[in-house]
Amino acid sequence: MNNAISLAKAYEKYFKIGAAVSVNNIDSYRDLLIRHFNSITPENDMKYSATEPEEGKFTFDNADKVVAAARDMGIKVRAHAPVWHNQTGEWMYKDGDKPAPPELVYERIDRHTKALCERYNKDVYAWDVVNEAVIDEQAKDQIGDSDTYRFSEYFKLCREGFIEAAFRSMDKYSPDAQLFYNDYSECDPTKRARIIRLIRTLQDKGCRIDGFGMQQHYFAKPDYDELKRSIEEYAALGLRLHITELDVNLMATVEHGAQRLKPGDPGFEEYIREVMSPTPEKLAEIENIYIRLFEIYRSYSDVIDCVTTWGVADDYTWLDYFGMKKDRPRIKQYPLLFNVDRSPKACVKTLIEAAE
């Protein structure tokens, strides 16, 4: 590929091209990031466990390094997921030996948000304010008394009030950045309806919510019609859309239905055998999926402002470690746009040519 060719440059008239990075790899990816990306998401370094592991004890070292590296490269930051049911210390939910009352949870969210914003507002153009607060279809037996919200520790203590509190605090302390709600399985019709219900509730309460983050983790073959339908329904709420965590699992190259296979599911053992040694055809299918997805993203560039892959290159991806029992061999995944050696896959040239 010609050294002058850049994925981000080719897509300037459509949307930003982003990647999730960590303090452990952002420097080693520097050349690739400068050339092909114009947005960076800290993968885990801005979450509560990383930035406030104990109440009032702020540990910004890793986030500082990511933001400083992004600034040095001239790339703005799409900040990720301070309020999430995972990677949050138990202190958030406790008042001594008792459960924390909602007002104390809101106060803690506000204080943490203030600290984040005062430190990073100059470099951040968008926040995933709240992450994954909607319940999954497969978790119905855990819904408590809600058919919309995840039965998290936040919800047990505050009902859905913690979502409103998070958005109001972020609006107060980061008035110039875009504020997003972020979630996965967002193209599943049932969950899509729940996400829309959450967003409308925030809008009805007068909360500023500028956009929705469509994660786009593909564990099964994409339903392209549902993707288009989902984009249209979320955009109809008056929101800007970001594709926030895009990757294509090897599972998406195996015919097994519309949902992610898990250990114990019918067909899981066959899947394991099939993807332990992926064929060139299966790896090519991942690239074909990217080509089709970007074709759709381009067609909706009037409402999509950014497309972010969850990782930079195949040498490091969370999917290598996700969803497998400890006694299973690791299944190497190839879910991103750049190879293990960090060279661009053939589809990158196709994506660039399609944008010109």
- Residue 329 resides in a domain: yes
Q: Which residues of the chain have pLDDT under 50?
A: 1-3
- Residue 2 resides in a domain: no
- Per-residue model confidence (pLDDT) at position 145: 61
Query: What is the token pair recorded at 279?
Result: 């064929």
- Residue 144 resides in a domain: yes
* Single pTM value for the model: 0.93
Task: Identify the CATH number of the domain in which residue 27 sits.
Answer: 3.20.20.80
- Residue 205 resides in a domain: yes
- The number of distinct structural domains making up the chain is 1
- Residue 115 resides in a domain: yes
- Per-residue model confidence (pLDDT) at position 1: 47
Full domain range(s) for residue 255: 7-355
Query: What is the token pair recorded at 136?
Result: 């999954």
Round to whole Å and give the CA distance between 235 and 241: 7
- Residue 240 resides in a domain: yes
- Per-residue model confidence (pLDDT) at position 97: 95
- Distance separating the N- and C-terminal Cα atoms of the chain: 15
Round to whole Å and give the CA distance between 318 and 311: 8
- Residue 64 resides in a domain: yes
Q: Which residues are known to be catalytic?
A: 132, 245
- Per-residue model confidence (pLDDT) at position 327: 64
- Residue 1 resides in a domain: no
